[in-house]
Amino acid sequence: MTTEINGTLRRTALFDAHLALGARVVPFAGFEMPVQYTSILKEHDAVRKRAGLFDLSHMAQFSLTGADVGAWAETLTTNKVANMKPGQARYNVFTNEHGGAHDDVIFYRLDDNRWLLVVNAGNADKMWAHVSANRSGDVQLKNLHGDYALIAIQGPRSVEWLQPYAEAELALIKYYACTETRVKGTREPIVIARTGYTGEDGFELFLPSDEATGVWDLLLAENRERGLEPCGLGARDVLRLEAGMALYGHELTEEITPLQAGLSWAIKLDKPAFTGKDALLAQRDAGDYPRIVGLVMEGRVPARAGYPVLAGGVRVGEIRSGSFGPTVQRNIATALLDASAAAEGTRLEVEVRGTRHPAVVTPQQFYKRPKG
Protein backbone atom coordinates (compact mmCIF):
# COMPACT_ATOMS: atom_id res chain seq x y z
CA MET A 1 0.00 0.00 0.00
CA THR A 2 1.10 3.57 -0.53
CA THR A 3 1.14 5.73 2.58
CA GLU A 4 0.25 9.40 2.88
CA ILE A 5 2.69 11.84 4.47
CA ASN A 6 1.58 15.14 6.02
CA GLY A 7 -1.74 14.87 4.23
CA THR A 8 -0.17 15.64 0.84
CA LEU A 9 2.66 13.46 -0.45
CA ARG A 10 2.37 9.69 -0.72
CA ARG A 11 5.04 7.01 -0.68
CA THR A 12 5.16 3.84 -2.75
CA ALA A 13 5.74 0.43 -1.19
CA LEU A 14 9.40 0.71 -2.27
CA PHE A 15 10.10 4.00 -0.49
CA ASP A 16 12.29 2.45 2.25
CA ALA A 17 14.18 0.47 -0.37
CA HIS A 18 14.97 3.70 -2.21
CA LEU A 19 16.30 5.33 0.95
CA ALA A 20 18.44 2.29 1.71
CA LEU A 21 20.00 2.64 -1.75
CA GLY A 22 20.82 6.30 -1.12
CA ALA A 23 18.25 7.75 -3.52
CA ARG A 24 17.65 11.47 -3.74
CA VAL A 25 13.89 11.80 -3.29
CA VAL A 26 11.76 14.62 -4.70
CA PRO A 27 8.01 15.36 -4.86
CA PHE A 28 6.48 14.13 -8.11
CA ALA A 29 2.79 13.78 -9.01
CA GLY A 30 1.81 13.69 -5.35
CA PHE A 31 4.46 11.11 -4.38
CA GLU A 32 7.94 11.16 -2.90
CA MET A 33 9.90 9.54 -5.71
CA PRO A 34 13.58 8.83 -6.40
CA VAL A 35 14.98 11.21 -9.01
CA GLN A 36 18.40 9.51 -8.97
CA TYR A 37 20.54 7.11 -6.93
CA THR A 38 24.12 7.61 -8.15
CA SER A 39 23.87 9.92 -11.16
CA ILE A 40 21.46 10.38 -14.04
CA LEU A 41 24.27 9.72 -16.52
CA LYS A 42 25.30 6.44 -14.88
CA GLU A 43 21.70 5.23 -14.68
CA HIS A 44 21.02 6.28 -18.27
CA ASP A 45 24.13 4.41 -19.41
CA ALA A 46 23.03 1.25 -17.58
CA VAL A 47 19.67 1.20 -19.39
CA ARG A 48 21.19 1.75 -22.82
CA LYS A 49 23.97 -0.84 -22.37
CA ARG A 50 22.76 -3.35 -19.76
CA ALA A 51 19.55 -2.82 -17.75
CA GLY A 52 18.00 -0.52 -15.17
CA LEU A 53 15.32 -1.07 -12.54
CA PHE A 54 12.56 1.50 -12.02
CA ASP A 55 9.82 1.98 -9.42
CA LEU A 56 6.73 3.18 -11.31
CA SER A 57 4.24 2.41 -8.55
CA HIS A 58 3.09 6.03 -8.52
CA MET A 59 1.29 5.39 -11.81
CA ALA A 60 -2.37 4.47 -11.45
CA GLN A 61 -3.73 1.06 -12.35
CA PHE A 62 -7.44 0.52 -12.99
CA SER A 63 -9.04 -2.90 -13.30
CA LEU A 64 -11.74 -3.07 -16.00
CA THR A 65 -14.02 -6.10 -16.24
CA GLY A 66 -17.12 -6.96 -18.24
CA ALA A 67 -18.25 -7.93 -21.71
CA ASP A 68 -18.56 -4.31 -22.91
CA VAL A 69 -15.16 -2.91 -21.89
CA GLY A 70 -13.72 -2.86 -25.40
CA ALA A 71 -16.73 -1.26 -27.08
CA TRP A 72 -17.13 1.25 -24.24
CA ALA A 73 -13.45 2.30 -24.25
CA GLU A 74 -13.63 2.84 -28.02
CA THR A 75 -16.02 5.76 -27.48
CA LEU A 76 -13.60 7.64 -25.20
CA THR A 77 -10.24 7.07 -26.89
CA THR A 78 -8.51 7.71 -30.21
CA ASN A 79 -7.11 4.23 -30.82
CA LYS A 80 -9.01 0.98 -31.27
CA VAL A 81 -9.63 -1.15 -28.20
CA ALA A 82 -12.38 -3.64 -29.00
CA ASN A 83 -10.27 -5.57 -31.51
CA MET A 84 -7.49 -6.23 -29.01
CA LYS A 85 -6.87 -9.91 -28.33
CA PRO A 86 -6.09 -11.40 -24.89
CA GLY A 87 -2.39 -10.91 -24.23
CA GLN A 88 -2.15 -7.65 -26.19
CA ALA A 89 -1.18 -4.20 -24.91
CA ARG A 90 -1.96 -0.98 -26.77
CA TYR A 91 -1.06 2.68 -26.39
CA ASN A 92 -4.04 5.03 -26.47
CA VAL A 93 -5.19 8.57 -25.71
CA PHE A 94 -8.34 9.71 -23.89
CA THR A 95 -9.45 12.94 -25.55
CA ASN A 96 -11.77 15.80 -24.65
CA GLU A 97 -14.41 17.36 -26.93
CA HIS A 98 -11.80 19.69 -28.43
CA GLY A 99 -9.44 16.83 -29.27
CA GLY A 100 -7.02 17.67 -26.46
CA ALA A 101 -5.60 14.88 -24.35
CA HIS A 102 -7.04 13.97 -20.97
CA ASP A 103 -4.20 11.44 -20.71
CA ASP A 104 -2.13 9.00 -22.71
CA VAL A 105 -2.50 5.46 -21.39
CA ILE A 106 -1.90 1.78 -22.07
CA PHE A 107 -4.65 -0.84 -22.18
CA TYR A 108 -3.72 -4.43 -21.39
CA ARG A 109 -6.24 -7.13 -22.32
CA LEU A 110 -5.73 -10.04 -19.94
CA ASP A 111 -8.56 -12.29 -21.14
CA ASP A 112 -11.98 -11.92 -22.75
CA ASN A 113 -13.48 -9.92 -19.87
CA ARG A 114 -10.50 -8.63 -17.84
CA TRP A 115 -8.43 -5.59 -18.69
CA LEU A 116 -5.81 -3.43 -17.00
CA LEU A 117 -5.61 0.30 -17.71
CA VAL A 118 -2.51 2.25 -16.66
CA VAL A 119 -2.68 6.05 -16.51
CA ASN A 120 -0.17 8.74 -15.59
CA ALA A 121 0.30 9.43 -11.90
CA GLY A 122 -0.48 13.15 -12.19
CA ASN A 123 -3.77 12.34 -13.91
CA ALA A 124 -4.85 9.52 -11.59
CA ASP A 125 -7.72 11.32 -9.88
CA LYS A 126 -8.86 13.07 -13.07
CA MET A 127 -8.88 9.82 -15.04
CA TRP A 128 -10.67 7.83 -12.32
CA ALA A 129 -13.38 10.50 -12.23
CA HIS A 130 -13.56 10.50 -16.03
CA VAL A 131 -13.95 6.76 -16.55
CA SER A 132 -16.32 6.48 -13.61
CA ALA A 133 -18.57 9.29 -14.86
CA ASN A 134 -18.70 7.81 -18.36
CA ARG A 135 -19.13 4.15 -17.44
CA SER A 136 -21.90 2.36 -19.32
CA GLY A 137 -23.03 -1.15 -20.17
CA ASP A 138 -21.38 -4.25 -18.71
CA VAL A 139 -18.28 -2.48 -17.38
CA GLN A 140 -17.03 -2.73 -13.81
CA LEU A 141 -14.21 -0.52 -12.57
CA LYS A 142 -11.80 -0.93 -9.66
CA ASN A 143 -9.14 1.57 -8.69
CA LEU A 144 -5.93 -0.29 -7.78
CA HIS A 145 -3.86 2.87 -7.26
CA GLY A 146 -1.70 2.21 -4.22
CA ASP A 147 -2.78 -1.41 -3.81
CA TYR A 148 -0.67 -2.53 -6.74
CA ALA A 149 2.96 -1.69 -7.48
CA LEU A 150 4.73 -1.43 -10.81
CA ILE A 151 8.39 -2.36 -11.33
CA ALA A 152 10.10 -1.96 -14.70
CA ILE A 153 13.32 -3.55 -15.89
CA GLN A 154 14.57 -1.88 -19.05
CA GLY A 155 17.61 -2.50 -21.21
CA PRO A 156 19.20 -5.00 -23.61
CA ARG A 157 19.87 -7.56 -20.86
CA SER A 158 16.34 -7.44 -19.41
CA VAL A 159 15.30 -10.85 -20.73
CA GLU A 160 18.48 -12.49 -19.46
CA TRP A 161 18.28 -11.01 -15.98
CA LEU A 162 14.53 -11.39 -15.40
CA GLN A 163 14.06 -14.87 -16.90
CA PRO A 164 15.44 -16.87 -13.94
CA TYR A 165 12.59 -15.59 -11.75
CA ALA A 166 9.67 -15.99 -14.16
CA GLU A 167 7.90 -19.19 -15.19
CA ALA A 168 6.85 -17.83 -18.59
CA GLU A 169 9.31 -17.87 -21.50
CA LEU A 170 9.96 -14.14 -21.67
CA ALA A 171 11.62 -14.20 -25.08
CA LEU A 172 8.32 -15.41 -26.56
CA ILE A 173 6.41 -12.33 -25.33
CA LYS A 174 6.14 -9.90 -28.22
CA TYR A 175 6.62 -6.15 -27.92
CA TYR A 176 3.42 -4.60 -26.56
CA ALA A 177 2.12 -7.95 -25.34
CA CYS A 178 1.52 -9.28 -21.83
CA THR A 179 1.07 -12.52 -19.94
CA GLU A 180 0.17 -13.68 -16.45
CA THR A 181 2.84 -15.81 -14.85
CA ARG A 182 4.37 -16.69 -11.53
CA VAL A 183 7.46 -14.79 -10.48
CA LYS A 184 9.74 -15.71 -7.61
CA GLY A 185 8.59 -13.77 -4.55
CA THR A 186 4.92 -13.53 -5.52
CA ARG A 187 2.06 -15.62 -4.14
CA GLU A 188 -0.05 -15.69 -7.32
CA PRO A 189 0.61 -15.16 -11.03
CA ILE A 190 1.22 -11.50 -11.88
CA VAL A 191 0.97 -9.51 -15.10
CA ILE A 192 4.24 -9.05 -16.99
CA ALA A 193 4.20 -6.84 -20.09
CA ARG A 194 6.87 -6.18 -22.69
CA THR A 195 6.29 -2.46 -22.59
CA GLY A 196 8.32 0.48 -21.37
CA TYR A 197 9.19 4.14 -21.65
CA THR A 198 12.91 4.16 -22.40
CA GLY A 199 13.30 3.15 -26.04
CA GLU A 200 14.91 -0.12 -24.96
CA ASP A 201 13.64 -3.66 -24.67
CA GLY A 202 12.23 -4.46 -21.25
CA PHE A 203 9.36 -5.55 -19.06
CA GLU A 204 6.92 -4.08 -16.60
CA LEU A 205 5.73 -6.13 -13.62
CA PHE A 206 2.35 -5.39 -12.05
CA LEU A 207 2.16 -6.89 -8.60
CA PRO A 208 0.57 -6.44 -5.16
CA SER A 209 2.28 -3.68 -3.21
CA ASP A 210 3.16 -5.95 -0.31
CA GLU A 211 5.23 -8.14 -2.66
CA ALA A 212 7.09 -5.32 -4.40
CA THR A 213 10.03 -4.95 -2.02
CA GLY A 214 10.84 -8.66 -2.10
CA VAL A 215 10.94 -8.77 -5.89
CA TRP A 216 12.88 -5.48 -6.14
CA ASP A 217 15.48 -6.61 -3.60
CA LEU A 218 15.84 -10.02 -5.24
CA LEU A 219 16.49 -8.59 -8.70
CA LEU A 220 19.10 -6.16 -7.40
CA ALA A 221 20.78 -8.61 -5.03
CA GLU A 222 21.45 -11.15 -7.76
CA ASN A 223 22.14 -8.81 -10.68
CA ARG A 224 23.65 -5.57 -9.44
CA GLU A 225 27.20 -6.90 -9.65
CA ARG A 226 26.48 -7.70 -13.31
CA GLY A 227 25.51 -4.09 -13.94
CA LEU A 228 21.81 -3.77 -13.10
CA GLU A 229 21.26 -0.28 -11.69
CA PRO A 230 18.31 1.19 -9.77
CA CYS A 231 17.18 4.17 -11.81
CA GLY A 232 15.21 7.29 -10.94
CA LEU A 233 12.87 9.64 -12.74
CA GLY A 234 15.75 11.79 -14.01
CA ALA A 235 17.21 9.04 -16.19
CA ARG A 236 13.74 7.94 -17.27
CA ASP A 237 12.89 11.42 -18.58
CA VAL A 238 16.08 11.70 -20.64
CA LEU A 239 15.68 8.15 -21.98
CA ARG A 240 12.11 8.80 -23.16
CA LEU A 241 13.08 12.15 -24.71
CA GLU A 242 15.85 10.53 -26.75
CA ALA A 243 13.39 7.84 -27.86
CA GLY A 244 10.80 10.41 -28.98
CA MET A 245 8.13 9.41 -26.45
CA ALA A 246 5.59 12.00 -25.34
CA LEU A 247 5.34 13.10 -21.71
CA TYR A 248 1.95 14.27 -20.51
CA GLY A 249 2.06 17.91 -19.50
CA HIS A 250 4.77 18.59 -22.08
CA GLU A 251 4.06 17.07 -25.51
CA LEU A 252 0.41 16.31 -24.62
CA THR A 253 -2.03 18.41 -22.60
CA GLU A 254 -5.73 19.20 -22.46
CA GLU A 255 -4.94 21.79 -25.16
CA ILE A 256 -2.34 19.87 -27.20
CA THR A 257 -4.00 17.14 -29.24
CA PRO A 258 -2.42 13.78 -30.12
CA LEU A 259 -2.43 14.92 -33.75
CA GLN A 260 -0.28 17.91 -32.81
CA ALA A 261 1.96 15.61 -30.76
CA GLY A 262 2.78 13.47 -33.78
CA LEU A 263 0.66 10.54 -32.66
CA SER A 264 -1.49 10.18 -35.77
CA TRP A 265 -0.70 6.44 -35.77
CA ALA A 266 -2.72 6.17 -32.54
CA ILE A 267 -5.74 8.08 -33.92
CA LYS A 268 -8.22 5.90 -35.79
CA LEU A 269 -10.51 8.40 -37.49
CA ASP A 270 -12.30 5.53 -39.24
CA LYS A 271 -13.94 4.58 -35.94
CA PRO A 272 -17.67 5.42 -35.97
CA ALA A 273 -17.44 7.88 -33.08
CA PHE A 274 -15.31 8.88 -30.14
CA THR A 275 -14.97 11.93 -27.94
CA GLY A 276 -13.09 14.62 -29.84
CA LYS A 277 -13.29 12.93 -33.26
CA ASP A 278 -14.93 15.89 -35.00
CA ALA A 279 -12.36 18.31 -33.62
CA LEU A 280 -9.48 16.08 -34.70
CA LEU A 281 -10.96 15.68 -38.17
CA ALA A 282 -11.28 19.44 -38.53
CA GLN A 283 -7.73 19.96 -37.30
CA ARG A 284 -6.35 17.35 -39.68
CA ASP A 285 -8.23 18.78 -42.66
CA ALA A 286 -7.15 22.36 -41.95
CA GLY A 287 -3.54 21.25 -41.62
CA ASP A 288 -2.31 24.58 -40.22
CA TYR A 289 -2.11 23.55 -36.57
CA PRO A 290 0.97 24.06 -34.35
CA ARG A 291 2.80 20.76 -33.91
CA ILE A 292 5.44 19.07 -31.81
CA VAL A 293 8.82 18.60 -33.51
CA GLY A 294 12.33 17.63 -32.48
CA LEU A 295 15.05 20.25 -32.18
CA VAL A 296 18.81 19.86 -31.99
CA MET A 297 20.69 22.76 -30.45
CA GLU A 298 23.83 23.59 -32.41
CA GLY A 299 25.81 24.90 -29.46
CA ARG A 300 26.57 23.73 -25.94
CA VAL A 301 23.62 25.49 -24.30
CA PRO A 302 20.66 23.19 -23.52
CA ALA A 303 17.06 24.16 -24.18
CA ARG A 304 14.52 23.94 -21.37
CA ALA A 305 10.74 23.81 -21.24
CA GLY A 306 9.16 27.22 -21.83
CA TYR A 307 12.03 28.83 -23.74
CA PRO A 308 10.83 30.83 -26.78
CA VAL A 309 11.63 29.60 -30.30
CA LEU A 310 12.08 32.20 -33.03
CA ALA A 311 12.31 32.31 -36.84
CA GLY A 312 13.73 35.48 -38.32
CA GLY A 313 13.31 37.20 -34.97
CA VAL A 314 9.61 36.32 -34.74
CA ARG A 315 8.36 33.94 -32.06
CA VAL A 316 7.00 30.74 -33.67
CA GLY A 317 6.65 28.50 -30.63
CA GLU A 318 8.21 27.26 -27.42
CA ILE A 319 10.28 24.42 -26.03
CA ARG A 320 8.21 21.64 -24.40
CA SER A 321 11.04 19.35 -23.19
CA GLY A 322 14.80 19.69 -23.33
CA SER A 323 17.98 18.02 -22.11
CA PHE A 324 21.43 16.89 -23.05
CA GLY A 325 21.06 13.50 -24.76
CA PRO A 326 23.92 11.29 -23.55
CA THR A 327 23.37 8.63 -26.24
CA VAL A 328 23.32 11.08 -29.14
CA GLN A 329 25.80 13.51 -27.52
CA ARG A 330 23.72 16.55 -28.44
CA ASN A 331 21.45 19.01 -26.67
CA ILE A 332 17.99 17.90 -27.81
CA ALA A 333 14.48 19.18 -27.29
CA THR A 334 10.89 19.07 -28.40
CA ALA A 335 9.07 22.26 -29.37
CA LEU A 336 5.50 23.20 -30.19
CA LEU A 337 5.89 25.22 -33.40
CA ASP A 338 3.71 26.99 -35.92
CA ALA A 339 3.21 24.84 -39.02
CA SER A 340 5.21 27.34 -41.08
CA ALA A 341 8.33 26.68 -39.00
CA ALA A 342 7.97 22.95 -38.41
CA ALA A 343 9.50 21.41 -41.54
CA GLU A 344 12.48 19.14 -40.97
CA GLY A 345 15.74 21.03 -41.52
CA THR A 346 14.29 24.46 -40.71
CA ARG A 347 16.86 26.63 -38.96
CA LEU A 348 15.56 28.46 -35.89
CA GLU A 349 16.77 30.17 -32.73
CA VAL A 350 16.01 29.38 -29.10
CA GLU A 351 16.13 32.25 -26.66
CA VAL A 352 17.97 31.28 -23.48
CA ARG A 353 18.06 33.97 -20.78
CA GLY A 354 18.00 36.76 -23.35
CA THR A 355 20.52 35.23 -25.77
CA ARG A 356 19.52 33.46 -28.98
CA HIS A 357 21.11 30.13 -29.87
CA PRO A 358 20.82 28.33 -33.22
CA ALA A 359 18.82 25.11 -33.56
CA VAL A 360 17.51 22.93 -36.37
CA VAL A 361 14.21 21.02 -36.68
CA THR A 362 14.57 17.22 -36.67
CA PRO A 363 12.29 14.19 -36.24
CA GLN A 364 11.07 13.70 -32.67
CA GLN A 365 12.85 10.37 -32.32
CA PHE A 366 16.53 11.12 -31.70
CA TYR A 367 17.51 7.54 -30.84
CA LYS A 368 16.39 4.12 -32.01
CA ARG A 369 17.79 1.00 -30.39
CA PRO A 370 19.86 -1.32 -32.57
CA LYS A 371 18.05 -4.37 -33.90
CA GLY A 372 19.15 -7.88 -33.06
What CATH number has the domain bearing residue 176?
3.30.1360.120
Whether 173 and 179 have beta carbons less than 8 Å apart is answered as yes
Task: Determine the pLDDT at residue 7.
Answer: 60
Read off the pTM: 0.96
Residues 167 and 206 in one domain: yes
- The pLDDT value recorded for residue 23 is 98
162-200 confidence digits (pLDDT tens) = 999 999 999 999 999 999 999 999 999 999 999 999 999
Q: How far is CA 254 from the centre of its chain?
A: 17
Give domain status of residue 251, yes or no.
no
Could you tell me which residues come within 8 angstroms of residue 208 by beta carbon, excluding any fewer than 6 positions away? 147, 148, 149, 186, 187, 190
Same domain assignment for residues 41 and 155: yes
Band (83; pLDDT cuts 50, 70, 90): very high
Question: Domain holding 119: CATH number?
Answer: 3.30.70.1400
Asked whether residue 33 is domain-assigned, the answer is: yes
User: Within this chain, do residues 263 and 281 fall inside the same structural domain, yes or no?
Assistant: yes
* Judgement on whether residues 39 and 69 belong to the same structural domain of the protein: no
Query: Are 220 and 341 contained in the same domain?
Result: no
Residues 200 and 332 grouped into a single domain: no
Q: Which pLDDT score is estimated for 8?
A: 82
**What integer pLDDT is reported at residue 4 of this predicted model?**
53
The domain total for the chain is 3
Residues 37 and 96 in one domain: no
Q: Is 276 found in the same domain as 333?
A: no
> What pLDDT is stored for residue 55 in this prediction?
98
352 shares its domain with 323:
yes
Looking at the structure, do residues 52 and 159 belong to the same domain, yes or no? yes
| Spatial distance between the Cα atoms of 141 and 325, rounded to a whole number of angstroms | 40
User: Each residue of 58-81: pLDDT tens digit?
Assistant: 999 999 999 999 999 999 999 999
Residue that wins the pLDDT comparison between 280 and 146 = 280
Asked whether the predicted pLDDT for residue 108 surpasses 60, the reply is yes
Q: Does residue 262 lie within any of the structural domains? A: yes
The pLDDT of 219-236, averaged and rounded, is: 97
pLDDT value at 309 more than 90:
yes
The reply to whether 236 and 150 lie within a common domain is: yes
Residue 197: give the domain boundaries: 3-57+146-242
Across residues 121-141, what is the average pLDDT? Answer: 98
Q: Does residue 326 form part of some domain?
A: yes
Check whether 3 has a pLDDT greater than 60. no
Residues 74 and 134 in one domain: yes
Distance CA 153, CA 162 (A): 8
Q: Per residue in 330-359, pLDDT tens?
A: 999 999 999 999 999 999 999 999 999 999
Query: For residue 73, is it within any domain?
Result: yes
Question: Across the beta sheet with 3-5, what order do the strands follow?
Answer: 3-5, 9-11, 31-36, 24-28
d(CA 187, CA 20): 25
The band of 372, judged by pLDDT with boundaries at 50, 70 and 90, is: low
Query: Is a pLDDT exceeding 70 seen at residue 6?
Result: no
**Alpha-carbon dihedral sign for residues 57, 91, 102, 322:** positive
Domain of residue 368, CATH code: 2.40.30.110
Residue 349 lies in a domain: yes
